[in-house]
Amino acid sequence: MEQLIKLNRDREHIAIITLNRPEAANALSNTLLYQLNQALQEVDEDTSIYSTIITGAGEKAFCAGADLKERKNMTNESVIDAVAYIGKTVNAIEHLRMPVIAAINGAAFGGGLELALACDIRIASEDIKLGLTEASLAIIPGAGGTQRLPRLIGLGHAKRLIYSAKPITVAEALDIGLVEQVVKKENLLYEAIKLAEIITANGPIAIEQAKLAIHKGMQTDLSSGLTIEHEAYKKTIPTADRLEGLHAFSEKRIPNYQGK
């Protein structure tokens, strides 16, 4: 089977997942999605991984979304199943226990942008475009775009992007909060790794619980969210890492967290 997903775990505590179909703009074929889900499961089960980066091969595209050539000959029922499979995969990214950084190396359209929206942080190369372009094909975003985009950038901007189906520049994406950082193309992976290293230097259990509290809290009211936060906080108290943090602080040294 052709390797459409590359999984690199050479760096300590960091996994890099690369969509590897540059000749097809890293489009989300069924085979790519199957391999991506395998990689996501491997990463989630590897307790030595504290942060994950997702990027695309090549320079032109991060991910162009669904594989429209593959979809062309599908029945209506098959198309619905294919969209559900993309949505399931995107959800799996969002529910990884550790922070996920999207290193957006090129254009991110449709399902490709929906994939990036499921990541915790988005770092993008200069001079790229992003958009939920589905309405131009007489469909709607079906892998979470109508839900995640307004939660990230607000209703007005989300409706403008979805209704118009027009891609926007990365400068505008930064301005409206669609991406958190824009860097030079040649520095993209370096900057993503640098951020991942900063994250992994912190207590991994604390980071996992912070992610859980943020995600669950955003789905409810403030009072319930504060309860979720308190329960997540309590899970950090009995850890060896918490004591290591206190000892390192008092001894004026860098802590050595073990995820325990």
Exposed, middle or buried: residue 21 (CB in 10 Å: 0-12, 13-18, 19+)?
A: buried
What would the DSSP string read from start to end of 20-44?
A: --GGGTT-B-HHHHHHHHHHHHHHH
Full DSSP string of the chain: ----EEEE--STTEEEEEE--GGGTT-B-HHHHHHHHHHHHHHHH-TT--EEEEEESSSSEEE--B-HHHHTT--HHHHHHHHHHHHHHHHHHHT-SS-EEEEE-SEEETHHHHHHHTSSEEEEETT-EEE--GGGGT----SSHHHHHHHHH-HHHHHHHHHH---EEHHHHHHHTS-SEEE-GGGHHHHHHHHHHHHHTS-HHHHHHHHHHHHHHTTS-HHHHHHHHHHHHHTTTT-HHHHHHHHHHHHTS-------
Enclosing domain of residue 215: 203-251
Which pLDDT does position 74 carry in this prediction?
A: 86
145 and 67 housed in the same domain: yes
Task: Let me know if residue 258 belongs to a domain.
Answer: no
pLDDT number for residue 68: 82
CATH number of the domain that 89 lies in?
A: 3.90.226.10
What is the distance between the alpha carbons of residues 42 and 121, in angstroms, rounded to a whole number? Answer: 21
Q: Are residues 125 and 225 in the same domain?
A: no
pLDDT tens, the chain, 260 aa long:
689 999 999 999 999 999 999 999 999 999 999 999 999 999 999 999 999 999 999 989 999 998 888 887 888 988 899 999 999 999 999 999 999 999 999 999 999 999 999 999 999 999 899 999 999 999 999 999 999 999 999 999 999 999 999 999 999 999 999 999 999 999 999 999 999 999 999 999 999 999 999 999 999 999 999 999 999 999 999 999 999 989 999 999 999 999 89
| Residue 101 lies inside a defined structural domain of this protein | yes
Domain harbouring 245, CATH code: 1.10.12.10
Residue 41 confidence (pLDDT): 97
The residues that are catalytic are 114, 134
Return d(Cα 52, Cα 157) in angstroms, integer. Answer: 28
Both 61 and 117 in one domain: the answer is yes
**Are both 46 and 174 inside the same structural domain?**
yes
Q: Residue 183 forms beta bridges with which residues?
A: 125
For residue 156, count other CB atoms closer than 10 A to its CB: 10
Q: What is the pLDDT of residue 254?
A: 93
- Nearest-angstrom CA–CA distance, 208 and 103: 20
Provide the 10 A C-beta neighbour count for residue 113: 32
With respect to residue 257, please indicate whether it lies within any of the assigned structural domains. no
What pLDDT is stored for residue 40 in this prediction? 98
